[in-house]
C-alpha cells in the first residue's frame, strides 16, 4: 500500500499517489524521491517536445515503418 498523503505533499506527490493506487502499484517511501526525480525529467522532456508545434491533423499510423 502506498503511504498516505501528508499536508506537505506537492501536487506531484498527490498525482503519484492517485495513479499508483489506481494501477495497483505499491511504491515504498524510500523509492519515491527517485521516482519523482525521473518523472520530473520526463516532464522536462515533454516541455521540450511541446515547444515545437506539429500538425495536429497528421494521421498517426499504429505501426511505424521508416
Partner 1 sequence: MKPENDAFPQAQEIAQRVRSGEWRAAEVVQETLRHIHAHNGEINAFTCITEARALREAEAVDQKVARGEDPGPLAGVPFAVKNLFDLQGEITLAGSKINQTDAPAVTDATAVRRLTAAGAIVVGALNMGEYAYDFTGENIHYGPSRNPHDRLRMTGGSSGGSGAAVAAGMVPIALGSDTNGSIRVPSSLCGIFGLKPTYGRLSRAGAFPFCPSLDHVGPLARSVTDLALAYDAMQGTDAADPVCADRASEAVSGSLADGVAGLKIAIAAGYFTQQATPAAEQALARVAAALNVTDLVEFPGTAQARAAAYLITNAESSNLHLDRLRHHAADYDPDVRDRMLAGTLLPASWNIQAQRFRRWYRAEVLKVFARYDLLLAPATPMSAPAIGQRYMELDGEQMMVRPHLGLYTQPLSFIGLPVVVVPVASAGAMPIGVQIIAAPWQEARIFKVARQLELHGFTSPIPTR
SS3 44: helix
Question: If binding means CB under 8 A, how many residues of this protein chain bind partner 1?
Answer: 36
For the bound state, the minimum distance from the C-beta of residue 42 to partner 1, rounded and expressed in Å, comes to 5
Return d(Cα 13, Cα 5) in angstroms, integer.
8
Nearest to 16, CA basis, from 45, 48, 38: 38
Return d(Cα 14, Cα 20) in angstroms, integer.
10
The binding track of 29-58 with respect to partner 1, each residue x by CB under 8 A or -, is --x--xxxxxx-xx--xx-xxxxx-xxx-x
**Using CB under 8 A as the criterion, which residues of the chain lie in contact with partner 1 when the complex forms?**
15-16, 19-20, 23-28, 31, 34-39, 41-42, 45-46, 48-52, 54-56, 58, 60-61, 63-66
Amino acid at each position: 500500500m502506498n503511504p498516505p498523503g501528508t499536508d506537505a505533499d506537492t501536487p506531484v506527490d498527490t498525482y503519484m499517489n492517485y495513479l499508483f493506487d489506481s494501477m495497483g502499484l505499491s511504491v515504498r517511501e524510500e523509492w519515491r524521491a527517485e521516482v519523482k526525480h525521473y518523472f520530473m525529467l520526463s516532464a522536462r522532456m515533454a516541455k521540450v517536445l511541446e515547444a515545437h508545434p506539429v500538425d495536429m491533423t497528421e494521421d498517426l499510423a499504429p505501426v511505424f515503418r521508416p
